[in-house]
Homo-oligomer: A and B are copies of this chain.
Amino acid sequence: MTDAKPRQTKQRAAIVDALGRGGFRSAQDWHDVLRHDGAAIGLATVYRALQALAESGDVDAVVTDSGETLYRLCEAGEVHHHHLRCRACGAAEDVDIPTFEAWATSVAAQHGYSRIEHTVELTGVCHQCATEGA
């Protein structure tokens, strides 16, 4: 189990840098952002980096109803939490659910399940988008 640590490359740095501006975006959107910033970077590289970062816990990844995966930088060392995302503008707030983790584990145990994982996604329309239209 000698999982090699990733090398430090210009591309990785550029990606993390772009991620720094926040927000949930798809891999392809981040790629566009990087290109606009003048970075010469391949789409495949963005996918790979984002995946690696998600795996190492440095970014949050959520799957939308349409099957797209959205990524967002996750502050290092943060405790597990969930997101409240605006369906209109994509803004996202962090929220945490005090008793949820414990509840999930206990309910799962009652059903004989182990190795529990959970996904909690809240979406809505933020105040600004709500007052603007639709």
Contacts and interface: CB of A to CB of B under 8 A. Distances in A.
Interface of A: 63-65, 67-69, 84, 86-87, 93, 95, 97, 100, 103-104, 107-108, 111-127, 130
Contacts of A93: 111
Contacts of A121: 118-120
Find the residue from A97, A104, A112, A114 having the highest chain B CB count within 10 A: A112
A117 B85 CA distance: 10
Nearest to A117: B123
Given A86-B113, A107-B122, A116-B124, 15 more contacts: A63-B63, A67-B69, A84-B111, A87-B115, A87-B117, A95-B107, A104-B122, A108-B124, A111-B126, A113-B126, A114-B125, A117-B122, A118-B122, A119-B119, A120-B120
Find the residue from A103, A120, A126 having the highest chain B CB count within 10 A: A120
Contacts of A118: 120-123
A73 B6 CA distance: 44
Given A63-B67, A67-B63, A125 B103 contact: no
Contacts of A114: 124-125, 127, 130
